[in-house]
Structure 1
Amino acid sequence: MAQEARTLAQAHQALSLEVQAAFTLARALLSLGQLGEAVQMAQAGVELASTFDESTLRLEGLRLLATILREQGDLNQASSYLEEAALLAQQANLPAAEADCLNQQAGIHHSKAEYAQALDKLTKALTLVRIQGNRVAEANVLNNIGILRTELGQYPLALEAFLEAYQLYRHEEHSPRNRAGNLASIGNLYMEMGNFEQADRYYELALAEIRRTQERFIELQILQLIAELAFKRQDYPRARDTYHGVVVASRELGLERILLTSLEGLAKAQMALGEPQVATQTLLEVLELARSKGWRATVLDVLLSLGEASIELKDLHQAQVYGLEALELSRQAERKRSTYLAHRLLARVHRASGEYLQAIEHLEEYHRLEREVFNEESERQRQTLMNQLELERVRNEAENLRLRTELERQAREEAQAKVFQRTQELEFAQLEIVSRLALAAEFRDDATGEHTYRVGRNAAMIAKELGWPQHEVETLRLAARLHDVGKIGIPDAILLKRDRLTVGEYELMKDHTTIGARILSGGRSKILRLAEEIALSHHEHFDGSGYPRGLAGDSIPMSGRIVAVADVLDALTHERPYKRAWSVAEALAEIKRQSGRQFDPTVVEACLAVFAEVTVDVEEHMQRLDSDLSLSVQLEKAQLGWADEEIELLKQNFEQLLAERTRELEQARREAQVLARRMELMAHTDVLTGLGNRRAFESDLESEVARAQRVGYSLSVLALDVDTLKQLNDTEGHERGDALLRTFAQAMQECFFELGRVYRIGGDEYAAILPYVDARHQAKILGRIETAILNTKSQGFPTASVSSGMASMPDEATSDGDLVRLSDQRMYQDKLERRRAREAKPDRPHD
């Protein structure tokens, strides 16, 4: 019908109708998966619209072209059309179209892994559609935000966005395509979370929804997700059959991207089913297609997969060819992960060929690069963990202050019980983060991360020999593990240096004692106080030559004297990047030599009694205590004379242990992130109203101003003051005043939810940050404030009154300080005018 309408319009020279018919036909071709024809038809419509003054039609065509080209995989050309469309929408003052362009731009940023830019575009689009009250567009933007947060691993925020979008999809007029996309996105989230049953349920719902339409492209995408889920659940036959069906359909429709990804999935399933020959043929087809399109990343991944398949087929020569090409490509692309995977593949090839020397060389390079990638990620997380600990300290102080205030209003016994309980919870949270920091710090220069546990064990055994009570021995065992937590603040270049440190480097290394003490300071639990004492004193020498304070003799805490011996004993008997491993006998002899100089003679005697004066050989004794000795030491012994088969077995064990340790550290990192997020929220939340507090307001405003200046949008700050609070507190009590503050906060949240964020910054003062709002919107803002006041009055506060003032940038201000000062001035001017108006009417109550 669209083709007939176009022909009829051409016959009557109705240009506008001809353009509309061309776009309708392009959409139909897109739904049928005929992307090449859809592009040609849309381009014809755009060119025709350019010949006469129809900017709206031209804008529609540019957006349609961008959509089709994105489906086709041509992101660069799609981006070009989208930029042109965004400029046209801005010139024509069409905010709905501008929001759609922002949404599509975010999609392109997302495809390029430019997540910050993508989230910025989506946030701006969400603000535009909410100001317009466009619920349909709002649902689509929320769904896209959920997709982005899923990929960032922000699962709670992703689920919140998806569910908000889901409610809008249910109650608004949406197409089955949109509903199917939302259901599939929720399925993706559950798959990432490991909840396969829920993922399968939502995928099937999405498939049923899309099959109500003729949109084969979306249907095939959902089928790919179902196949991927089947593979993860190890249902390989279902995965193979589903992928095969997608391959057949995508080849018929000419959907090359879907064809390529489904062929890769099919090859994985075939390999899992023990069909390497068939998988190789499938991968060769993928390789040919990827080379022809210039998709280098895909070529690299396929070469690695072909190498693995060739090893299974015993074709070692071909496997080496694939591995060498993959290694060269990955180096050119500077992709470290692909580089170390190529080294691992070549190590397998050489090992299977009996070329053990070459295999070891590639294996060493594999472990070096893998460790390098891991360390880079750890370094990025280090500063975040330090900041989270500082937030915990601030929250601890704020929470204690709140509880002390509560003591004035409640019975002392009840308040003291709450303080004790809350302090215990806070100390446990702080200990958890510090423990994670200690693990992260130790993992940087100890491959197993077991050094801290051994120091704790050694210190506990020495303390027991010295006659410490058992409960104090156990406290020392835990606290001693945190002795080197300050190393988290020492750069890798110094911490892992193999050569002798320079004077300047040594001075910097010595700072780890004071850094550790600061990290642990402020704790109220016995463990944290003891850990702080140990961190600061375990490098002091008995003769006064140590650091950081140069203490001597009994002025050094006993805990520090014990851990000093326990730490040196373990450090000497284990290999590090800068030293060999000493024998236990050598280490004990050195500790004895340092008695009275570096170490307390009493502690040295106890150490010798525990580790030297035993009925069995000292080495055997330590071996029994160190039953989980690092496999790296065993490998070193193996290379001195063990058989090749034993060496290979130990290498396999080493690789397995490294993978296990990596998973443990990743789990620890995630737990620390969740904990820190909880702490950060509490530190930035007003306890009474649940709104953001002054700290949150200042932090958010600084970020928002920087973003507004960078991107180029307007930004306003709204200052508010509840006029009647003091009068209410004086006449009806502070509980009634608190109720007014909560009620007004809720009313403001409801009225300004679509425009920005509301904060309670202290007492009766509130503030709001309003992106994309300027002086032109002042009437609308005042209307929303009035609605909030009316809602507050209807909740039992008939005299509620609020003064307000607003300032905007860039028209009126250039910094966050300017915005705050100007909005405050206008708010106080409004308050003054309101007071004068009330004074002119003496029959009305005063605030």
Structure 2
Amino acid sequence: MQKKYEILIVDDVSENIKIAINILKNEGYNFSYALNGKQAIEILKTKRFDLILLDIMMPGIDGFTLCKMIKNTPAIKDTPIIFVTAKIDVESIEKGFNLGAVDYVTKPFHPAELRVRVKNHLELYNYQKELRKNNHKLTDEIQEVKTQHFSDIEEAQKEIIYILSSILESDSNETACHVKRVASIARQLAILEGHLSPQEIDTVFLAAPLHDIGKIFIDNDILHKPSKLEPSEFEIIKEHPMHALHLLKHSKHDLIKAAKIIAYQHHENYDGSGYPQGLKGNNIHIFGRIVAIADVLDALTHKRVYKEEWSFERAAEFIMKNKGIKFDPRLVTLFRDNLESFKEIIEVEECH
């Protein structure tokens, strides 16, 4: 079914409106009219048009002023305006085009000219609307594809993180599942922290498994030595945050950037006595401060070749005793006030 175009005719002489309608009535258009600018404004508040035929010389609000008002109204600014007027001097024509009119038709009307100009501009306006509609549709489709693409990338990043983490785990049964528990503890602490967005909380959870990824470059004889490390061996162990930095530093993805921060800073101490940079207080990224507690809590409560497991209560006491020394005092307070939730992660969460 062919579209019925809506045309608004604005002219202070009713006879001119009748003439225009008579010339165009057989084209199948719907007409509305106004005898002055004020009436036109009221009509435009409630109805949309495909074309406006606008007289210039009207009392009160003249055609130029009305045209400017229309073009400054976002909802109707794209509506094509044809000035219909006996005022055909160059300055008036130039002013009308500058205000946004698409054409001029002189009075008295030449029927064939009016029909053709109206028809051409209605079709052009309709094509433009269809083009905008298709552009919006195409943009939505592209955005949907991009969203899916980025979702796939994010899933791939998560999978890579767990693959890399499993490489670290595979070297020792004693550290199996450690990274997953650290991630869960870190997420719980990030939630309690209260200032992190849901996205940041999710990032901490997903990036935390890579906190010790730098250890893949450390000799296993040192990593899993059953006795106390020599000072020189401990210095080698302390190199693993730097190895992680070199491994992850070139990534432009937020998730890997977060993993780099965590891996590089989770051995920094709140009082500045940690390594590798000796950062102090809030100069340590919040992600690093969170994972520092998560890593120590899980390490203490699970058996290693060089130590027996501690009870949760003993490990919690160690963390609270190091409030403001090794660990962020505010995070330690949150940990202390929510001990049961962390104990549940340690005692209940298993690796499958």
Shorter-chain TM-score: which interval?
0.5 to 0.7
Is it true that 1:540 corresponds to 2:268 in the alignment?
A: yes
Supply the distance in 2 between the matched residues of 1:506 and 1:434 (Cα, whole angstroms): 26
The structure with the larger Rg is 2
How many residue pairs end up in the alignment?
A: 211
Q: Percent identity?
A: 38
TM-score, structure 1 as length reference: 0.23
Counterpart for residue 280 of structure 2? 552
Q: Aligned pair in 2 of structure 1 residues 430, 471: CA closer, same or farther (>3 Å)?
A: closer
Q: CA deviation at 1:442?
A: 2.3
Counterpart for residue 602 of structure 1? 330
Structure 1 counterpart SS, 2:338: helix
Structure 2 counterpart SS, 1:522: coil
Supply the distance in 2 between the matched residues of 1:473 and 1:520 (Cα, whole angstroms): 20
Supply the distance in 2 between the matched residues of 1:625 and 1:463 (Cα, whole angstroms): 16
Specify the code of the residue in structure 1 equivalent to 2:181: R
Mapping 1:427-576, distance limit 5 Å:
429=156, 431-447=158-174, 449-467=176-194, 468-576=196-304
Specify the code of the residue in structure 2 equivalent to 1:543: D
Supply the distance in 1 between the matched residues of 2:251 and 2:143 (Cα, whole angstroms): 18
Q: CA deviation at 1:515?
A: 1.6
Structure 1 counterpart SS, 2:261: helix
Once the two structures are superposed, what CA deviation does each residue of 1:463-505 show, in whole Å capped at 9, x if it has no partner? 1111133332222111111111111111110111011111221
Q: Aligned pair in 2 of structure 1 residues 542, 498: CA closer, same or farther (>3 Å)?
A: same
Q: Aligned pair in 2 of structure 1 residues 624, 515: CA closer, same or farther (>3 Å)?
A: closer
Structure 2 counterpart SS, 1:497: coil
Specify the code of the residue in structure 2 equivalent to 1:455: V
Q: Is the 8 A contact 2:174 2:303 kept in 1?
A: no
Supply the distance in 2 between the matched residues of 1:445 and 1:463 (Cα, whole angstroms): 28
Supply the distance in 1 between the matched residues of 2:276 and 2:339 (Cα, whole angstroms): 29
Q: Aligned pair in 2 of structure 1 residues 462, 427: CA closer, same or farther (>3 Å)?
A: closer
Supply the distance in 1 between the matched residues of 2:215 and 2:269 (Cα, whole angstroms): 20
Once the two structures are superposed, what CA deviation does each residue of 1:305-355 show, in whole Å capped at 9, x if it has no partner? xxxxxxxxxxxxxxxxxxxxxxxxxxxxxxxxxxxxxxxxxxxxxxxxxxx
Supply the distance in 1 between the matched residues of 2:175 and 2:162 (Cα, whole angstroms): 16
Q: Is the 8 A contact 1:427 1:523 kept in 2?
A: no
Residue of 296, 307, 319 corresponding to 1:579: 307
Mapping 1:735-750, distance limit 5 Å:
none
Counterpart for residue 187 of structure 1? none
Q: Aligned pair in 2 of structure 1 residues 626, 478: CA closer, same or farther (>3 Å)?
A: farther
Q: CA deviation at 1:521?
A: 2.3
Supply the distance in 1 between the matched residues of 2:203 and 2:240 (Cα, whole angstroms): 22
Once the two structures are superposed, what CA deviation does each residue of 1:368-405 show, in whole Å capped at 9, x if it has no partner? xxxxxxxxxxxxxxxxxxxxxxxxxxxxxxxxxxxxxx
TM-score, structure 2 as length reference: 0.54
Supply the distance in 2 between the matched residues of 1:542 and 1:625 (Cα, whole angstroms): 24
Supply the distance in 1 between the matched residues of 2:325 and 2:234 (Cα, whole angstroms): 20
Kindly report the root-mean-square deviation, in angstroms, between the aligned alpha carbons of the 2 structures.
Answer: 2.9
Once the two structures are superposed, what CA deviation does each residue of 1:107-140 show, in whole Å capped at 9, x if it has no partner? xxxxxxxxxxxxxxxxxxxxxxxxxxxxxxxxxx
Structure holding more helix per residue: 1
Q: CA deviation at 1:629?
A: 4.8
Q: CA deviation at 1:439?
A: 1.1
* Greater relative contact order, per chain length (Cα 8 Å cut-off, separation 6+): 2
Q: Aligned pair in 2 of structure 1 residues 460, 431: CA closer, same or farther (>3 Å)?
A: closer
Mapping 1:340-739, distance limit 5 Å:
429=156, 431-447=158-174, 449-467=176-194, 468-611=196-339, 622-623=343-344, 626-629=347-350
Supply the distance in 2 between the matched residues of 1:502 and 1:437 (Cα, whole angstroms): 28
Supply the distance in 1 between the matched residues of 2:204 and 2:345 (Cα, whole angstroms): 22
Q: Is the 8 A contact 2:271 2:326 kept in 1?
A: yes
Q: Is the 8 A contact 2:175 2:304 kept in 1?
A: no
Once the two structures are superposed, what CA deviation does each residue of 1:218-268 show, in whole Å capped at 9, x if it has no partner? xxxxxxxxxxxxxxxxxxxxxxxxxxxxxxxxxxxxxxxxxxxxxxxxxxx
Q: Any unmatched runs of 5+ in structure 2?
A: 1-140
Q: Is the 8 A contact 2:193 2:334 kept in 1?
A: yes
Specify the code of the residue in structure 2 equivalent to 1:463: A
Specify the code of the residue in structure 1 equivalent to 2:243: I
Supply the distance in 2 between the matched residues of 1:624 and 1:452 (Cα, whole angstroms): 13
Q: Is the 8 A contact 2:184 2:345 kept in 1?
A: no
Structure 2 counterpart SS, 1:473: helix
Q: CA deviation at 1:445?
A: 3.0
Supply the distance in 1 between the matched residues of 2:147 and 2:248 (Cα, whole angstroms): 19
Supply the distance in 1 between the matched residues of 2:251 and 2:235 (Cα, whole angstroms): 27
Structure 1 counterpart SS, 2:171: helix
Q: CA deviation at 1:587?
A: 0.6
Specify the code of the residue in structure 2 equivalent to 1:437: L
Q: Aligned pair in 2 of structure 1 residues 545, 446: CA closer, same or farther (>3 Å)?
A: farther
Structure 2 counterpart SS, 1:547: coil
Supply the distance in 2 between the matched residues of 1:563 and 1:521 (Cα, whole angstroms): 19
Supply the distance in 1 between the matched residues of 2:146 and 2:249 (Cα, whole angstroms): 19
Specify the code of the residue in structure 1 equivalent to 2:348: S
